[in-house]
Amino acid sequence: MAQVQVYNQEGRKTSKLELADSVFAIEPNESAMHLAVVSYLANQRQGTQSTLTRSEVSGGGAKPWRQKGTGRARQGSTRSPQWTHGGIALGPKPRKYKVGINKKVKQLAIKSALSSKVAADEMLVLNKVELDAIKTKTVAEMLGKLKAGKKSLIVLPENDEKLYKSARNIEGVKVCTVGTICTYDILNCNTLIVLKDAAKKIEEVYA
């Protein structure tokens, strides 16, 4: 069984937690993680960029000059791509960048990312977080006591509005729940902070 250190809110070690090997101690599959990251980043793209072609710009109905006899190159429209205010040739049009990923590959990628964090000693478990009010300073102090990296991901068992609003203004800190966790966020953080209840929930979902 994989073991990680459990800390309290003050940054003190309280105990150790045994984690399921089937989730937190597998051989990381780099191919699955790469596909999951590519899929995530591609799906963030809106694909709304658009340019006007020669048939969509205004004007250009009349031939600028006669075909022969002027000594100039023949032109059929003032809205050809080589003209100022002309249409764009081969410009971008709205499209979908979505990259699909198999459900089992997605789960394998998440387990691989979690296992890589445990192996690199970049994951710690927090027994609980208690906040009296929405206070960014309290969360910042907690992260300092835990010696968290510049980029930290806090995983909660369920939504906690106080913690989310307290942490969202801290640069490099992201809060998510077990249901919204993704491979990219796990790999992108320096320190993965998982609440004890969330760790058990992850085991239930992905074991």
Reported as a single tens digit per residue, the pLDDT across 75-104 is: 999 999 999 999 999 999 999 999 999 999
Q: Look at the pTM and tell me if it is higher than 0.75.
A: yes
Number of folded domains that form the chain: 2
Q: Which tokens go with 11? A: 């940054």
Asked whether residue 134 falls in the same domain as residue 112, the answer is: yes
Asked whether residue 73 falls in the same domain as residue 112, the answer is: no
* Rounded mean pLDDT, 47-69: 94
pLDDT number for residue 16: 86
Burial (CB count <10 Å: 0-12, 13-18, 19+), residue 25: middle
Question: Would you say residue 110 has pLDDT above 90?
Answer: yes
For residue 60, what pLDDT band results from cuts at 50, 70 and 90?
A: confident
Asked whether residue 107 falls in the same domain as residue 92, the answer is: no
Q: Are 79 and 136 in contact (CB under 8 A)?
A: no
Asked whether residue 70 falls in the same domain as residue 117, the answer is: no
134-190 pLDDT per residue, tens: 999 999 999 999 988 889 999 999 998 999 999 999 999 999 999 999 999 999 999
Q: Are 26 and 111 in contact (CB under 8 A)?
A: yes
Asked whether residue 117 falls in the same domain as residue 188, the answer is: yes
Q: Which tokens go with 33? A: 């993680």
pLDDT number for residue 43: 95
Question: Would you say residue 115 has pLDDT above 90?
Answer: yes
Question: Would you say residue 1 has pLDDT above 80?
Answer: no
For residue 35, being part of any structural domain is answered with yes
Asked whether residue 189 falls in the same domain as residue 139, the answer is: yes
| Rounded distance between C-alpha atoms, residue 101 and residue 207, angstroms | 20
Q: Which residues of 163-195 are buried (b: 16+ CB within 10 A; e: fewer)?
A: bbbbbeeeeebbbbbbeebbbbbbbebebbbbb
| Rounded distance between C-alpha atoms, residue 68 and residue 185, angstroms | 64
pLDDT number for residue 91: 95
Q: Are 78 and 57 in contact (CB under 8 A)?
A: no
pLDDT number for residue 4: 83
Domain range enclosing 145: 2-45+100-206
